[in-house]
Structure 1
Amino acid sequence: MTTDSCIGVIGAGNWGTTLAKVLGENGKRTLLWARREELCREINETRQNSAYLPGFTLPESVEATHDLKHICQSASLLIAVVPSHTMRETARELGNHLNGEHVVVHATKGIEQGSFKRMSEVLREETCLRKIGVISGPNLAKELAARQPTGTLVASRYDEVFTRTHAALHNDYFRVYQGRDVVGAEIGGGFKNIIALAAGVAAGLGLGDNTKALLLTRGLSEMARFGVAMGAEVMTFGGMAGMGDLIATCSSPLSRNHQVGARLARGEKLEDIQRDMRMVAEGVKMAKAAHDFAKKKRIDLPIVAAVYHLLYEHHEVPLLLKELMSIPAGPEFAALTV
């Protein structure tokens, strides 16, 4: 097994910075790529990323850089953590410096809008990469940065991708499990953001645990149905990248998607919320991508449809609840058949 002494993290948002912190605490030299040079300077001079991960100090072994070529020459294991809408552009830039021996694991939870492409597909299209994987699980960045115990899934067809990523990230507060269903891991990580928006709406309205449980269980059912239609294995959605991520994201006010839903329930406009937020709430884009795909493939996804109507057709929040509660209730597991 290759032991990586230097690892590259592409993206210095809160999740990328958190993963860089974990790698640094594991004794790995870590090159953290940021698009803005002033952010690189702040990280290198102060050991802080005040914009995206305030209150946490990065290890000395983490070095921020604006130079993708330098990262690709220094590290053969890269973790890509950029928003879904910038993945293609970033992959194209990376592609100029990668070779077939590089391993890239992405930790982006979303689907490319318009094309319905998963992030591993985008990476494959824009680079020469073969060894690709995905990190997905119940991973709220601030909790992991605070060393609160959690776990994640690394899914790939290649054992090398898992063993190297496991060796880099696994420690006494971050457990790294292996999977092979890349499609399921990517769909679970992206789809749960839609359900988290709906859960945020419920929280913003002051609704109780019964309502949240209904959203989680029916949301999991829709996730599995959508995932199977995309080629995933249904069992994946009962694990880290499905139920695990769904519980964490739908239950926590730390989740950006949960925050968006709660603020919509309080009467704020989506445009104003997005303007205020430094970080991307992937559920907003994912809701449109999933809704468009479901419409094209004639897949019944009531929660997705309701969230889409709230975000893009400006339905009022009470109408969203009425829409969901007026859906005929049939056999519970019918949603798992496509």
Structure 2
Amino acid sequence: MLQVSVIGGGSWGTTIAKVIQDNFKNRSISGKTFLWVYPEVVNGVDLSESINSTRINSKYLPEIVLPEGVTATSKMSDAVKDADILVFAVPHEFLDGILGSIISDKGAVVKKECIAVTLAKGLFFEEKKMELISARIKRMLGVEVCTLMGANIAGDVANGLFSECTLGYENESIKKTVVDVFNSKHFRVAAVKDHGAVEVCGALKNVVAVGCGIVAGQQQGVNTIAAVIRNGLLEMVRFCRKFVKSPDNLSENDETIPRVFFESCGVADLIVTCSSGRNYKYSKLASEKGISIGRIEKEEMNGQKLQGYSTIKDLLAFIKGNGVEKEFPFFVAICNSATSDLSAERIVDAIRESSQ
């Protein structure tokens, strides 16, 4: 029997657990799904116990009934010890803590043949260096890792509405196993051998979405938003060319857009995120009200962190640390606006001055 353990019981992690277990049932695959949730009490009941008794994640996905075969737990060892596939669905800023708890828990021994799949959107920046989430998981757990990203709104996927996603992989031998677990009639998985670009798309599209929100909040119009998306895409491609090893072997000066950017993780996810995602919505609200994004996080998001805003602060330091501000003027403009005065004009000026 195949065991898949989803680490992270938020709306997306819960949705993915449902997708996997539905797949097991509909395709007559012998499998079970564990859902690790952070230990917390909701309405006087432990969340994992509540999920197991009601089949509903009342806090993060309250209108969706989970299929039999999904077992929630707040004990990391229960989720990890027999897992054939570990799916990481936690915000990237919490990943080091999660990996550390797995390593330190003597009961949470990861099988040598286990495959990890990361759904986390973000990048690890340290001074002048950058590390992919998949690389960190592989380094800390010693397992093969692939990346799953795409234009996916959790509620739509959970309700069975058709969606696409992109599986970025490096090792050919694990591709089929992972695709078979996730791919279904309603959730199409396209695999590309370029996990680095897939991850960068997942992180940097949130930066572009923040820029779109700032511009939209000052009523610049859809034409301007389209220009923000276009310029953002160009610098995403340029960033991949310069900092991520890609299997297409094109030089960093080649402006040809790789195929991966036309997959769900690329243009499609960028459009969805820049029109309806949280990074767009809350950046727009901050821009409309003329208050900082940090204040919006505290007052409107109950202290939750906006992924794009977190990435922006690290990205700006990384760009400056590597002395490449002139190569990424648009990202620099978005970062400076988001962390200071929320100036839409600064972002528009960067487009005006672009040679593209």
TM-score normalized with structure 2 length: 0.84
C-alpha contact 2:124 2:132 (8 A) present in aligned 1? yes
Deviation at 1:44, TM superposition (A): 1.4
SS at match of 2:170: coil
Where does residue 96 of structure 2 map in the other structure? 88
- The Cα RMSD (Å) is 2.0
Where does residue 15 of structure 2 map in the other structure? 18
Greater CA deviation, 299-308 or 75-84? 299-308
Where does residue 106 of structure 1 map in the other structure? 118
C-alpha contact 1:155 1:181 (8 A) present in aligned 2? yes
Where does residue 282 of structure 1 map in the other structure? 307
Where does residue 250 of structure 2 map in the other structure? none
Where does residue 247 of structure 1 map in the other structure? 271
Q: Give the one of 51, 56, 80 matched to 1:48.
A: 56
Deviation at 1:215, TM superposition (A): 1.0
Letter in 2 for 1:237: F
C-alpha contact 1:105 1:161 (8 A) present in aligned 2? no
Where does residue 142 of structure 2 map in the other structure? 128
Give the distance between the partners of 1:238 and 1:311, measured in 2 at CA. 27
Deviation at 1:121, TM superposition (A): 1.9
1:181-202 residue CA offsets vs partner (Å, 9 max, x unmatched) = 1111111100000111112223
What are the equivalent positions in structure 2 for 1:61-76 lying under 5 Å apart?
61-76=69-84
What are the equivalent positions in structure 2 for 1:1-338 lying under 5 Å apart?
5-26=2-23, 27=25, 28-37=31-40, 38-95=46-103, 97-114=109-126, 116-129=130-143, 131-233=144-246, 235=258, 236-252=260-276, 255-267=277-289, 268-275=291-298, 276-277=300-301, 279-299=304-324, 300-312=327-339, 314-315=340-341, 317=342, 320-327=343-350, 328-332=352-356
Give the distance between the partners of 1:103 and 1:94, measured in 2 at CA. 15
C-alpha contact 2:312 2:335 (8 A) present in aligned 1? yes
Deviation at 1:94, TM superposition (A): 2.5
CA 1:330 to 1:195, structure 2 compared with 1: closer, same or farther past 3 Å? closer
SS at match of 1:12: coil
Letter in 1 for 2:317: D
1:69-89 residue CA offsets vs partner (Å, 9 max, x unmatched) = 222233211111111111112
1:264-294 residue CA offsets vs partner (Å, 9 max, x unmatched) = 1122432332123265421011112221221
CA 1:76 to 1:95, structure 2 compared with 1: closer, same or farther past 3 Å? farther
Greater CA deviation, 322-331 or 283-292? 322-331
Q: Percent identity?
A: 27
C-alpha contact 2:150 2:266 (8 A) present in aligned 1? yes
Give the distance between the partners of 2:222 and 2:241, measured in 1 at CA. 28
Give the distance between the partners of 1:95 and 1:159, measured in 2 at CA. 27
Letter in 2 for 1:285: S
C-alpha contact 2:14 2:35 (8 A) present in aligned 1? yes
SS at match of 2:81: helix
1:115-168 residue CA offsets vs partner (Å, 9 max, x unmatched) = 632211221232122x11010111121221122211111111112332112111
Deviation at 1:298, TM superposition (A): 2.9
Where does residue 249 of structure 2 map in the other structure? none
SS at match of 1:285: helix
C-alpha contact 2:82 2:111 (8 A) present in aligned 1? no
CA 1:51 to 1:273, structure 2 compared with 1: closer, same or farther past 3 Å? farther
C-alpha contact 1:270 1:311 (8 A) present in aligned 2? yes
Deviation at 1:232, TM superposition (A): 4.4
Letter in 2 for 1:184: A
C-alpha contact 1:81 1:107 (8 A) present in aligned 2? yes
Give the distance between the partners of 1:23 and 1:127, measured in 2 at CA. 23
Letter in 1 for 2:34: L
Letter in 1 for 2:116: V
CA 1:202 to 1:210, structure 2 compared with 1: closer, same or farther past 3 Å? same
Where does residue 336 of structure 1 map in the other structure? none
Deviation at 1:31, TM superposition (A): 0.2
Give the distance between the partners of 2:66 and 2:216, measured in 1 at CA. 33
CA 1:280 to 1:147, structure 2 compared with 1: closer, same or farther past 3 Å? farther
